[in-house]
A and B are shown apart, each in its own frame.
Chain A
């Protein structure tokens, strides 16, 4: 484990905001277990819990908390200066931080999604959801890490993207789905385990290419912005 990853992980788990990660996956698990134990038809609760809660809320919100936490929190409190005053090419800072963010998000979200998928349909669906959510975690985290460097309000802008763009516009304006990480995750999961529980208009090639483009594009953007990082404020 690199020193940057180690400090990032210690910082992430050492802050209280990490506790925010726990309730949402817990709720997902609880709802899936409750629905299954009450014998409700998976066709009724599956889409709402797996997509409506799991992929539309838990995944992006956890990625938002973690993605903005690995760099944005350090920028906020000024500790980022300690890492930046080292003779490291900036990609050696961004990549470990992104790996920690995507890894933590993937584990936090993929495990409850796997369990919920198994309970709703099959082990295959559980695995499909876990794999697709992990890919989504990488794309979301790349986006949110880059947001931390282009704006001082990454959490707010991230929420606007998740709630307004993906959540609201995605339901009314079909074109927005082409630029929705949530839709890519659904398309990829449905490709790995085709069921009637997951449905999207986005094709699998588009989902795969766009996920890769977003992950790579925002990572490159973050590296470039970190090269020109200015210590703002407190200029006396």
Chain B
């Protein structure tokens, strides 16, 4: 009887490195990716950026599905463009949710294993399906799956040949919290086992939970690169703007000016626009201040919480 391990096998070959050297891609007059240089080694890296930042274009160039207009993408020294051999070491889970809905998950992953010419495709397919915990539904047609199940099936197909490098475009889209945690744990395990994992996301918290290293893209450029904690600190330490409505805005404004975390208050028709230097300290202090002065806070709305504003601050700093 064959024993199936749900753990990623230890890499049989040395770790792989994906290099981008001065990579740009433009469509007519539109520059999608602008002069990006980065090196991805073993471990999990998050590619973070708002929608339209060029993450997918960059991933497609890494995966050999798009020719760079300038620069070169190499995997262990070999170009990824027009070189199908790189897929022996590289797996891709694209954002587009395209699967052969007429196949079952097992048939789909097995077909991938056979196309990779693996010595024992059946065992490889079973192992990959076990990795994403899809055994119970593996014989059903993919067309009947939920979005998260289809996503896991695609991940299994991309992992079936145990690639050194795995690229995932927005892998958590459409997953429920449990599936999300499971996928995060899987990426962690793969990274710990020496694989080079890159996943893109426009959600900060996702990247924070999975990867220690992030590459931040804004408007086609690599805006920040390195340890997420440093970048996160930059992001949380930026001034935050809140709109506060209360039973007595003027009295609240006076009280808030004495609060250390507040850097500015503006009294307007719609309420108070409050600038706070420290997000946590301000949101903790506000209820206490209101209570002490018998004021009631009707609403507290963060004004600049969109990811775009976070990124523009990051680029500016």
Binding site for B on A (CB under 8 A): 3-4, 6-7, 10-11, 14, 77-79, 81-90, 227-231, 234-236
Give the bracket for the number of chain B residues in contact with chain A: 35 or more
Given known pairs A3-B111, A87-B88, A90-B84, the reply for A235 and B57 (CB within 8 Å) is yes
A86 contact from B52, B84, B96, B98, Cβ within 8 A: B84
Pair B115/A3 contact, Cβ less than 8 Å: yes
- Interface core residue of A78, A84, A86 (most chain B CB under 10 Å): A86
Give chain B residues whose Cβ lies under 8 Å from the Cβ of A88. 84, 115
Pair B56/A85 contact, Cβ less than 8 Å: no
Pair A81/B65 contact, Cβ less than 8 Å: yes
B60 contact from A4, A79, A227, A231, Cβ within 8 A: A231
B53 within 8 A of A: yes
B233 within 8 A of A: no
B158 contact from A85, A87, A227, A231, Cβ within 8 A: A85
Q: How far is the CB of A94 from the nearest CB of chain B, in Å?
A: 13
Binding site for A on B (CB under 8 A): 27, 32, 51-57, 60, 63, 65-67, 82, 84-88, 90-92, 94-96, 98-100, 102-103, 108, 111-112, 114-117, 157-158
Q: Which residue of B lies closest to A229 (CB)?
A: B65
Give chain B residues whose Cβ lies under 8 Å from the Cβ of A89. 84
A sample of 7 more A-B contacts (CB under 8 A), given A78-B96, A81-B98, A86-B115, is A6-B111, A7-B100, A79-B98, A82-B157, A87-B86, A87-B88, A236-B54
Pair A82/B103 contact, Cβ less than 8 Å: no
A85 contact from B32, B82, B87, Cβ within 8 A: B87
Pair B114/A81 contact, Cβ less than 8 Å: no
Give chain A residues whose Cβ lies under 8 Å from the Cβ of B52. 236
Q: Which residue of A lies closest to B200 (CB)?
A: A236
Give chain B residues whose Cβ lies under 8 Å from the Cβ of A11. 100, 102
Cα separation A86 to B121 with both chains bound (whole Å): 14
- Interface core residue of B54, B57, B65, B85 (most chain A CB under 10 Å): B65
Give chain A residues whose Cβ lies under 8 Å from the Cβ of B66. 230-231
Q: Which residue of B lies closest to A232 (CB)?
A: B66
Pair A87/B65 contact, Cβ less than 8 Å: no
Cα separation A231 to B65 with both chains bound (whole Å): 6
Give chain A residues whose Cβ lies under 8 Å from the Cβ of B92. 81, 85
